[in-house]
Amino acid sequence: MRHRKQQELFVNFNTTLTTHLKLPKLKQQKTNHTFIDLFCGIGGFHLALHNIGATCLFASEWDESARKTYEHNFSGISEDLFNKNNFAGDITLVDPKSIPNFDILCAGFPCQPFSQAGFKRGFNETRGTLFFNILNIINEKKPKAFFLENVRHLLKHDNKKTFEVIKRSLEDLGYSFFYKIVKASDYGLPQHRPRLLMVGFKNKEINFTFPSPIPLKYTLSDALGGECKKEIGFTLRVGGRGSGIDDRRNWDTYLVDGKIKKIGPKEGLKLQGFPDNFSFPVTESQAMKQLGNSVAVPAIQIVAEEIIRKLNEHEKN
């Protein structure tokens, strides 16, 4: 039953989101759940949670090019976010007290080097990193849950010390901690893109399990608009453009219908699970960089739905 529900969610994903982004103002599904979108990039978390009925109250992104894309696509469906000056730039300049109260903290945070000064208690190990700002906000606002995303290598970085600091720092704030490395292809998309997802709840009685994988909903051939021998493509990433089809670092060039084809924003949107009418008010090279930095939207959406389901289940009980 759960597996079928996840498939239905993905089927609805493109049809509902494509419609929503075309509207000047979205009539959302009624919900009491709210979230904030830190290190938001072009809005993969926003898109995923908005689609399942949650409301974004605050977002932060320092990169000016990514900010343009974010506002270009979301100003029509999350008007209050921009009208109330809750779209911030540098998160280090934001006073956590000024952020509206919310239920879920979402963040695809940068993995800056962590202190090597040992395993002290409290925030000492994270000072000087952007993760410290996440902890500060959680400590101040005490949300019901957090949902974090990072590269899979974070799990083993510095002989696993970095991950242990992150895990323990969140647990020290009174939260449970669940994690799993998942691929975009686990949740229907035709690219590998393994990522470390981390989820935690203020109420430690909530037992969370990451949703089971679902079949591919479309293949690399569908995404690239022609016959491609691979069903699942390389991980879309920022670096390596123009490396060539025979280069081991190649990620953006494929044989399609027997001809060499380099992917652009149109194909990148499909590989990341964004709707076709998501648009970029920036150059193509900037758009590809932004897509490479983004999250795979369906993976975030399916996990977020389970987080909200668990919160609803707990509140009913």
pLDDT tens by residue, 250-299: 888 999 999 999 999 999 999 999 998 999 999 999 999 999 999 999 99
Query: According to the model, what pLDDT value does residue 119 have?
Result: 47
Query: According to the model, what pLDDT value does residue 125 have?
Result: 60
Burial class (CB in 10 A: 0-12, 13-18, 19+), 194: middle
Q: List active site positions.
A: 111
C-alpha radius of gyration, the chain, whole number: 19
DSSP 214: B
Query: According to the model, what pLDDT value does residue 24 have?
Result: 28
2-22 helix and 44-51 helix, angle to the nearest 10 degrees? 110
Q: Buried b / exposed e across 91-120, counting CB within 10 Å, b at 16+?
A: beebeeeebeebbbbbbbbebeebbeeeee
User: What is the amino acid identity at position 47?
Assistant: L
Place of tokens 């590989």: 271
User: What is the amino acid identity at position 51?
Assistant: N
What are the structural domain ranges in the chain?
2-216+297-316, 220-290
Q: For residue 179, report the phi and psi dihedrals to the nearest 5 degrees.
A: -150, 155
In CATH terms, the fold of domain 220-290 is DNA Methylase; Chain A, domain 2 (3.90.120)
Q: Under 8 Å CB-to-CB from 126, ≥6 apart: which residues?
A: 114, 115, 132, 135, 165, 166, 169
Query: According to the model, what pLDDT value does residue 16 have?
Result: 41
The CATH H-level (homologous superfamily) assignment of domain 2-216+297-316 is: Vaccinia Virus protein VP39 (3.40.50.150)
Question: How far apart are the C-alpha atoms of 154 and 151, rounded to whole Å?
Answer: 6
Model confidence, pTM: 0.88
Query: According to the model, what pLDDT value does residue 118 have?
Result: 43
Torsion 217-109-196-238 (CA) sign: positive
In the predicted model, residues of the chain with pLDDT beneath 50 are 2-3, 5-7, 9-30, 115-122
Nearest to 268 by CA among 301, 235, 298, 226: 235
User: For residue 204, what are the CA distances in angstroms to 146, 177, 214, 263, 312?
Assistant: 13, 9, 28, 44, 15
Three-state SS string over 15-68 comes to: HHHHHHHHCCCCCCCCCCCEEEEECCCCCHHHHHHHHCCCEEEEEECCCHHHHH
User: Do the domains at 2-216+297-316 and 220-290 have one common CATH topology?
Assistant: no
